[in-house]
Structure 1
């Protein structure tokens, strides 16, 4: 089991720019795709860090073209040597995901994608809602959308790993999960949260309810982590592609846009009272940068077997639940995800 990262001095307040500066050769000249990019979020802080070390191209993906253009303009002003390309992508609908993936695959001038950071997400949807594909919105957007999109553009990721001189393990897929995964395993018999939640590890008072937004979010974050394991199982030995799941920390972003303001403020105060430390955006993006660029974490014998780890505060998080670090659960999720998108993927 991997036990250490390259920079043991990196921690909760290390910034993404600092991490990027530590690993410039892992970024310079690379084509990088980031989902969920807007100026006030982790996606932009992540893009900014990559641009600071001369990434060749940053594909910034998101739902709102005007917000993407704001990010492209800001990056161009600060880092004129890095090109950007905008990609309209709504992860909440499989139709949009397929259209966006087809667009990426049609770009002949972008033959390879070296790093993918699946950063986008939604949180705190107050009532149980299904998307147009009949899937609960947290799970549909946070996991299924990323699963389908990443799988559909996989030929370009594999092409990056097969470039002449490519280093095994340098091509990466980073899935931004959360320690919110502790809230819920995958509810195999009830992914859409229609049944009472008697087995959910939350307070007794809410167990009789069928939908709990923290649990639905947690299930989707469990899926993000298991997706990384499934990718490693299929891609590391064959192509040398690595995937990591990360917890960015507690950061105030637009992720909680669906929460009423008073409720949102009360939630912040509650977290502070429990000892949670809030991070700035740059520190929130830093763990994604470690996962995307740092030399492989090493096991006790100095070897790396391509098995995934869960990172938090730029280091390996040891205190994890078996349900989001289990290889058997990862395989079960892969099969379920293929069922939900109606397509099997063999790489």
Structure 2
């Protein structure tokens, strides 16, 4: 794998618009779906960058139709050459993920999706909460919902990869992960954070939380972000050799977005100030979306004979990130997670 992208000068403060401008032919005419889109978030900054280079259609997916329509209206005003459609998608429930996939698969006038950006997410759920499917909320929303939705719409991605003249590796799934993946591996014996951390097998114990504790919001968030990276491994294993569909996970950087909605406003503000005092640099929205754009469009980031060995699936600051933990670059962990995810949704997927 290459150690740098086509543009080694791209870095933490490169904007998504700048990345898009470097790859106009890759974006022009494409159909792109982005989850978790609102005007103040990374999803909109990502959509704006794709629209700036004449994407054919951008599907804006999220829980709140009114917020999606705000984004569609803003894009239409700024970039009239790109069409938009909104798709209601509640990733917090399997019922919601299935409903959205069914709606999308019924859009016969959208036969193919060239790029899927799984951007939606939640963070900082203060107490251990389970969703209606009995799964811890971070894991349910950030991973299981995306796993199920993505798996159900794979035929649309395969259709894109099989267009006449399609380039192997051009059809992509980008999973927006986080540095939080460093906080916790997948707790296969305790997905829902019910047990004391110190009682788990050593390989499943989180780095972030105290070993004696059980639920920790950043640890639970970290597990879900580890799952985002491992999902890319699982998708590559199943789709790259056979169809030329490629998946990457990205760390967008630290950005102040609505991800902090679960925390009281004053507490969230104090937390941000604390991080700043410790030297953490926060990116603007456009800078946060840039690595997603590199992962979606960079023509040189592709597999070599399908042999990945966990490298190159994770990008940060617009470049391939080499310093990663074994628990989210491991093929065996990826396969275990795929099997666990199928068990949780009650369905096996064959593509």
**TM-based fold match above 0.5:** yes
CA distance in 2, matches of 1:30, 1:79: 15
In terms of mean alpha carbon deviation, does 307-316 or 163-172 score higher? 307-316
Say if 2:78 is the partner of 1:78. yes
Q: CA deviation at 1:263?
A: 1.7
In terms of mean alpha carbon deviation, does 136-145 or 264-273 score higher? 264-273
The TM-score normalised by the length of structure 2 is 0.95
Q: CA deviation at 1:261?
A: 1.7
Q: CA deviation at 1:90?
A: 0.5
Say if 2:231 is the partner of 1:227. yes
Say if 2:31 is the partner of 1:31. yes
1:293–1:304 Cα change, 3 Å: farther
Q: CA deviation at 1:243?
A: 0.1
CA distance in 2, matches of 1:284, 1:32: 18
Spell out the pairing of 1:1-347 with structure 2 (5 A cutoff). 1-198=1-198, 199-202=205-208, 206-297=210-301, 303=304, 305=306, 307=308, 308-347=312-351
The TM-score normalised by the length of structure 1 is 0.96
Q: Mind listing any 5+ residue stretches in structure 1 that lack a counterpart?
A: none
1:66–1:298 Cα change, 3 Å: closer
Q: CA deviation at 1:207?
A: 2.7
Q: Is the 8 A contact 1:3 1:298 kept in 2?
A: no
Q: Is the 8 A contact 2:57 2:84 kept in 1?
A: yes
Q: CA deviation at 1:2?
A: 4.0
Q: Deviations over 1:209-261 (max 9, x none)?
A: 21000000000000000000000000000000000000000000001101112
1:125–1:212 Cα change, 3 Å: same
Q: Mind listing any 5+ residue stretches in structure 2 that lack a counterpart?
A: 199-204
CA distance in 2, matches of 1:48, 1:94: 29
Q: CA deviation at 1:304?
A: 6.3
1:336–1:297 Cα change, 3 Å: same
Q: Is the 8 A contact 1:5 1:296 kept in 2?
A: yes
Q: Deviations over 1:68-108 (max 9, x none)?
A: 00000000000001000000000000001101000000000
What value does the CA root-mean-square deviation take over the aligned residues? Answer: 1.2
1:97–1:213 Cα change, 3 Å: same
Corresponding pairs, count: 342
Q: Specify the alignment match of 2:201 in structure 1.
A: none
CA distance in 2, matches of 1:10, 1:95: 40
